[in-house]
Amino acid sequence: MHFWSIAGTLIAFLASLWINQEVFTHTSFVRGVNWIFLPSGVRLLSTLLVGFDGALGLLLAGLITDFLYWFPHDPVRAIAGALLGSLAPYLVYRFALEYFDLRASLTNLTPKRLLVLAVAYSGANTLFHHLWFALAGTTKNWFESFFTMFVGDLAGALIILYVMKALLALLPKQPGNSRVSNGMFSIQLALNSAYANQFATKATWPRSAAVHDPGVGLHGRAGAKKL
């Protein structure tokens, strides 16, 4: 299951980048910075759905696109971009686990929570990249680039998150009587399995924690903060 989660993330990212370059190429501020950037939504969505596996898939996708497309003649920039592009969504995923008691298929993420996560991701990703730009000495149009990347990441994240949240809500919770409904139910099972698979190696921890605190769930919290 780890392989499919990683591979699925990689494919989804590459597909979203192709769509973005075909549809929103006119929104480019500088190379790699767009006013609308759909791959940012895939970055956040994949980590929220499959956790660390999603981050690994994003890292691989980032290395592929950076070395072959964005910065083929700048290996340092390519590696830094791939690392930073996978770090920011993973940190937001950890935030969602800690404060929102994140569950499979985003079932308990309200539109307001999705907005909070999208803003947090966009801010973190933009900040990380522009700190790197400053350290590397590429500070031309720094503030304009910062604002454009933040807006582009936020727009892309909100588009992907809200569309996928609506689609995931349509997935049946029980098998049906038709191939279509059974196929959709299989998708639901696969997402739930991929989500649960993140914690398979930590299975002994929740059981031991529950002895001391029965209210502690899979993520080690007695309850999530309301929002």
Residue 100's pLDDT is 93
Asked if residue 170 lies in contact with residue 184, where contact means CB atoms within 8 angstroms, the answer is: yes
CB-side neighbour CA atoms (13 Å) of 167: 10
Residue 136's pLDDT is 86
- Show contacts of 174-183: CB within 8 Å, 24+ apart: none
pLDDT tens for the chain, 227 residues long, are 589 899 999 999 999 999 998 888 777 766 667 889 999 999 999 999 999 999 999 999 999 999 999 899 999 999 999 999 999 999 999 999 999 988 877 888 899 999 999 999 999 999 999 999 899 887 678 888 899 999 999 999 999 999 998 888 877 676 766 665 666 666 666 666 766 666 664 554 444 444 444 444 444 444 455 56
Residue 129 lies in a domain: yes
Residue 168's pLDDT is 83
Residue 126 lies in a domain: yes
Domain interval for residue 68:
2-169
Number of structural domains the chain divides into: 1
User: How does 66-104 read in b/e, with b if 16+ C-beta sit within 10 Å?
Assistant: bbeebbeeeeebbbbbbbbbbbbbbbbbebbbebbbbbb
Residue 104's pLDDT is 78
Helix (H) / strand (E) containing 191: helix 179-197
Residue 211 lies in a domain: no
Residue 45 lies in a domain: yes
Residue 156 lies in a domain: yes
Task: Report helix, strand or coil for 34.
Answer: strand
| Residue whose entry in the numeric block shows the structure tokens 């190379």 | 31
DSSP at 66:
I
What is the signed CA dihedral for 71, 77, 81, 83, rounded to 10 degrees? 130
What is the signed CA dihedral for 194, 46, 19, 66, rounded to 10 degrees? -110
Closest to 138 measured CA to CA, from 72, 81, 59: 81
Residue 154 lies in a domain: yes
Residue 184 lies in a domain: no
Encoding tokens for residue 190? 């696969």
DSSP at 51:
T
Asked if residue 160 lies in contact with residue 16, where contact means CB atoms within 8 angstroms, the answer is: yes
pTM equals: 0.80
Residue 158's pLDDT is 96
Residue 219's pLDDT is 44
Residue 31 lies in a domain: yes
